[in-house]
Structure 1
Amino acid sequence: MIALLCACAAEPPATKDLTTTVDSAGVRITTIAMAPGDVPRWTVDSVPALTLESPDSTGFVYISAARWLGDGRLLVADARQLGIYIYDASGNHQRTLGRKGEGPGEFRNIMTVSVVHDTIGVWDLGERRFSVFTADSGFLRLLPTPTASSAYHVAREVWLVRGDHALTYWLRAPLLDPIPQGVRIRRWQHDADLMLSDGNGAVTGQSPTFKGIYSGQGQRGDARQAFSNAPFVAAAAGRIAYGSGETFEAHLTNGSLVPERAVRWPMANEPLTEAEVTRTREALRLSMPPGAPPTRMEEALSTIVAPELLPKVRPPVSRAVFGDAGELWLGRFEPPVRGLAESYDWVVLDALGTPRGRVVLPEGTRLEAVRGNELLVSVRDSLDVQRVEVRKFVRR
């Protein structure tokens, strides 16, 4: 198994389920021919091995991340309470990092949390700054990141990838001419790219531009689209994976953002059905404030789920996570209703791009991290209270 997951493993011969070619730049192009339904199903224990509650036992409000530290401890980031909570391996709360504020080690918004051994990187989207902590010493420093080229070039997420190097996910919104009279809504396609930077914020690597999200632009502004593609990024020691989420295609690079492989799975691209669109409209309707005027509600729904902008193929992927052994977990797209991208149906690819297993989680369960045969998940109950669990799973 270790040999299969090694990034430098030799290429296997072509099979009926997997073929690999090499393009002119030396990048391996792997195409999966296996039907998604043929991927072995891995089972997840129904009873958690460990449960983490908020320190005051009232429940987490809005979990933005949960991670294992290098020594087996765990952290939970609550974006609403603006704290990073550290727990020992038995689930006992040890300390809290950060608090609400604008000073060093304080947050206005916790967008992205990353961990390298016991060093923690936190991207504060509200303050546009990247703070570095350790679990034991607390706040260390602010790490410079590349500056935006314009007001329409936004650093959405930042990850600590090694030492003092950071990976930034940029979204760029092109300027458009005024929307023509008589046009209700039009597609506003954003561009995306990744930048790797050193401890001084100098760019040391950059990905090609790929498609970011798209929104719907109308006469009164723009609105998110429930079925927009959802770009995904995963970063681990020496490996980075990303994609537009428009089709099932993942680009894998080394730790310096040098391309190594692209994995494509044409059979995982599914048509968008009218039934799924209807279900999503109803889920969005239920999430809206009670008592909203029906006409306003319908106007909002027809904007967020704009018929003119629906894709023919549903976005296949919306999230990506690297397991600690190097395997890439890709989560099937679910239309976002509560804000965060959700995925409950996951496929696991080894370093060669071969699908090794499939894991299906209950609705309301968000995969946060993978370690060995354990999943770290955040769970939202029917009362909107959140907790973090460790669940064991069995590979087939």
Structure 2
Amino acid sequence: MAGPLPLGDPAPRDGRLPADLPVDPAVPFSAYLHVPFCRVRCGYCDFNTYTAGELRGARQEDYASTLLTEIEMARRVLGDAGALRPMDTVFFGGGTPTLLPAGDLARMLDAAASAFGLVSGAEVTVEANPDTVTPDVARTLADAGVTRLSIGMQSAVPHVLAALDRTHRPENVRTAVDAAREAGLDVSVDLIYGAPGESLSDWESSVDAALALESDHISAYALIIEDGTKLARQIRRGEVPRPDDDLQADMYELVDARLADAGFDWYEVSNWARTPEQRSRHNLAYWRGSDWWGFGPGAHSHVAGLRWWNVKHPAAYAQRLAAGESPAAGTERPDAEARILERVLLQSRLAEGIPVSELPSDNRANVAGLIADGLVDAPAAVRGQVRLTLRGRLLADAVVRELTD
């Protein structure tokens, strides 16, 4: 299970939004639907997910109906606030959304589309474990309006998958991709690098295997050790080594070069797409500060600068909604300074970068030093835009500190 939720301020029981909320109807709106179920807990995972033995009073088979109650509440709340807009993107995340019957996911999508509407050409993504995708599942999702499947490949090397506690069979990634393609879905695959015992050669094999799938989009994330996870405990006890920063940097350079050679462009530090149209529009909505409602236990939402988050456990989530109350556990409204810092943190990770004019005024002079260190692209900076170089992407956190501290 994930770490503790932020403290924040108490959330109103009826879920209402503040009367003075400056809603801009031109800002795109998205929906995130959290499915908090997994067959097993991966040792590195810090997401708000639950195995069957951890549900304690919640029933997986009731989940779709429970979430539909929050959708109806959101329709009322957003309508009352003048913030009701059709969805540009929808994302089913988890957990493992495809542990639910595909018909349940279809019902959830239909309810959201009925409540808010979908813009023409909306992107609708479902995350999936490769072992849970069959031709029937893919067809049901496509028929329901899903446009994109994001498959958790992570690695093509068995001992690396074992180190990550991933249980899927490597060959089922190809099966899942083929099923998605046959149903007319776009395909993205996710990779993780830096697992205990993973060599540069292992990583190269996984990148080449991902490219052989001919997917539209590839995400590659460095393994991060989160407090409270099984992997963090193993490292603390000395049972496995901590990820090597230099090796992870070599792995990043390898995947970036391999993907560039294959015709992919990076558009965010950890994400590459074949064409601009195949970028994850949902994730771009987060990075660009659009509005979204997060449905499900532990899900976070953002509308017009207001943020809130739901209670974590599925049982508590269901109890709140059954009582006619909002499942929100807390809320916050960051001030102007905090919003600027957040924008720098997120926007600077994009290939498009961030305008120098949007940096905190006291930090703009630091751009020259970042150029001298090879972290920021000089020609782009001359045009007024801070864009990371390859070296800058490797040291993105350090760049953000220079631009914000």
TM (norm. structure 2) is 0.28
Structure with greater helix percent: 2
Normalising by structure 1, report the TM-score.
Answer: 0.28
More strand by share: 1
